[in-house]
Amino acid sequence: MKGVYTNPRFFLAMTVMLAMAAALVQAQATRVGFYARTCPRAESIVRSAVQSHFRSNPNIAPGLLRMHFHDCFVQGCDASILIDGPNTEKTAPPNRLLRGYEVIDDAKTQLEAACPGVVSCADILTLAARDSVFLTRGINWAVPTGRRDGRVSLASDTTILPGFRESIDSQKQKFAAFGLNTQDLVALVGGHTIGTSACQLFSYRLYNFTNGGPDPTINPAFVPQLQALCPQNGDGSRRIDLDTGSGNRFDTSFFANLRNGRGILESDQKLWTDPSTRTFVQRFLGERGSLPLNFNVEFARSMVKMSNIGFTITMKGAYTNPRFFLVMTVMLAMAAALVQAQGTRVGSTVQSHFRSNPTIAPGLLRMHFHDCFVQGCDASILIDGPNTEKTAPPNIMLRGYELEAAGPGVVSCADILTLAARDSVFLVNILLYFLNHILLKVLSINATADYVFHTVEAQILGQPQNPIPIAHLNPNPPT
Ligand code: HEM
């Protein structure tokens, strides 16, 4: 026992196994085309609902984008923002001005008629946010779906939303809590390229901000313009564009306005004042001397990240997640089958890659899973080119492609991937024995537990593995 706990291989095995479980849990969360079989028209129904509302009221586009953000930051993207009732999220101050609920209701009604009980409101809202960006001439991107709707909605949880007076440090912290970095923050706040703000949320900047004057970060030439739009003691509900001069179009002019001291919200203008965020504003503007970043592409990437909040399971979350245990059970069963088969061989290629980089084990297992779920286990995941499976968001993080060189001319890539996934599991199967031991201990069968563990300790740490022949199951290996 002691030998196992202090053995570096044991800790490596533990780490890899847990990473595999976490990766699988994460992989199961959302994926592009989740409704392809169960409700093939889901995405087009949402788009046409957004489109028809947009035609009569273009304000719903920014409304839906903001609603999605406010949904995701509070208990994950689970449509809890839509729940009615006293003290729900909807009733909290940061959400009082949200717009576009009727679009989600309309899309949901149509979807219930087409495929009853299939499409979640959380997915409808996520898709509607994407469609809103597209309709305002921004980018179109593939939205991973498969979210489940939440049932908890508490106004008190909305304090997590960043406020319009918030410092950049605090904004960064709030985003980082959801795995969103500084670039994600700047890109996502770039969503203010469309939509408006009520005067009541920024007019304090125009009068008596410092020593009786306006906020010094506002361009002095811009102050009278804003004062005319939002007079002191005027109508606080009056709305003005967050991106002056281009409020209906999804573009980079919001960032140009920040550079020119023409940001409307205090929190927006701070993106320029603070050097850590200014860098990204400059990059999105493609400023000379900066490393240019394509705003639309990065916005889409960050949106996918944000729209997975609540579905990207952290290791801590994984332990309390029932799916984690399901995945663990399946993997342990696989490992048990391998052990029972006596003398399982670790493919030497996998082994040598594993030695130099142990993270290929979970990488290969996940790759095999992604391959099998899309058109069967046919190695289509390995095909290069534009718009291949490899390029889709759920596959962007896949690892272990370097193994492709393992079987030139004879063995199909599909088989190599299948075997590599098996071998990856074998490399970490020591955890099976560890868990067995705990289980038996918990059941107070201590003698048996110790026997099992000591036997295994000897097998895994002391004895060489017996090779077994590999069966090539694919009847038509590629030539
Ligand atoms: C530090 C983070 C953020 C702060 C402090 C913030 C704050 C605000 C405020 C105060 C408004 C005006 C609301 C009103 O008067 O109705 C607003 C509007 C808006 N926000 Fe944000 N926001 C942030 C991040 C985001 C993100 C991440 C997105 C989307 C990806 C977003 C999208 C929008 C949109 C589209 C509007 C216009 C809404 C409309 O016209 O109805 N915001 N935001």
pLDDT tens digits, one per residue of 162-206: 999 999 999 999 999 999 999 999 999 999 999 999 999 999 999
The Å distance, Cα 341 to ligand 1 centre, comes to 58
Q: Specify the 3-state DSSP secondary structure of 213.
A: strand
Write the DSSP symbol of residue 474: -
The residue nearest atom 17 of ligand 1, judged by CA position, is 197
Does the pLDDT of residue 333 top 70, yes or no? Answer: no
Whether the CB of 66 sits within 6 Å of ligand 1: yes
What pLDDT score was predicted for residue 311?
77
Q: How many CB atoms are closer than 10 A to CB 15?
A: 15
Domains defined for the chain, CATH in brackets: 2-29+313-462 (1.10.520), 31-158 (1.10.520.10), 166-306 (1.10.420.10)
What pLDDT score was predicted for residue 386?
86
* Better pLDDT: 260 or 346: 260
Contacts of 453 (CB under 8 A, 6+ apart): 1, 4, 433, 434, 436, 437
Inter-residue contact 243 to 260 (CB < 8 Å)? no
Does the pLDDT of residue 125 top 90, yes or no? Answer: yes
Structure tokens at 407: 């079987």
What pLDDT score was predicted for residue 432?
52
- The whole-number average pLDDT for the span 401-417 is 68
Inter-residue contact 331 to 339 (CB < 8 Å)? no
Whether the CB of 162 sits within 6 Å of ligand 1: yes
The residue nearest atom 33 of ligand 1, judged by CA position, is 66
What pLDDT score was predicted for residue 441?
47
What pLDDT score was predicted for residue 423?
77
Taking the C-alpha atoms of residue 239 and residue 255, their distance in angstroms, rounded to an integer, is 20
Does the pLDDT of residue 228 top 70, yes or no? Answer: yes
Does the pLDDT of residue 107 top 80, yes or no? Answer: yes
Does the pLDDT of residue 454 top 60, yes or no? Answer: no
Q: Specify the 3-state DSSP secondary structure of 309.
A: coil
Atom of ligand 1 nearest to the CA of 198: 15
Taking the C-alpha atoms of residue 232 and residue 223, their distance in angstroms, rounded to an integer, is 12
Taking the C-alpha atoms of residue 355 and residue 12, their distance in angstroms, rounded to an integer, is 11
Whether the CB of 58 sits within 6 Å of ligand 1: no
Taking the C-alpha atoms of residue 201 and residue 95, their distance in angstroms, rounded to an integer, is 13
Inter-residue contact 403 to 416 (CB < 8 Å)? yes
Taking the C-alpha atoms of residue 69 and residue 171, their distance in angstroms, rounded to an integer, is 14
Atom of ligand 1 nearest to the CA of 239: 15
What pLDDT score was predicted for residue 274?
98
pTM to 2 decimal places: 0.67
What pLDDT score was predicted for residue 438?
54
- The whole-number average pLDDT for the span 416-438 is 65
- The whole-number average pLDDT for the span 248-277 is 98
Whether the CB of 191 sits within 6 Å of ligand 1: yes
Does the pLDDT of residue 297 top 80, yes or no? Answer: yes
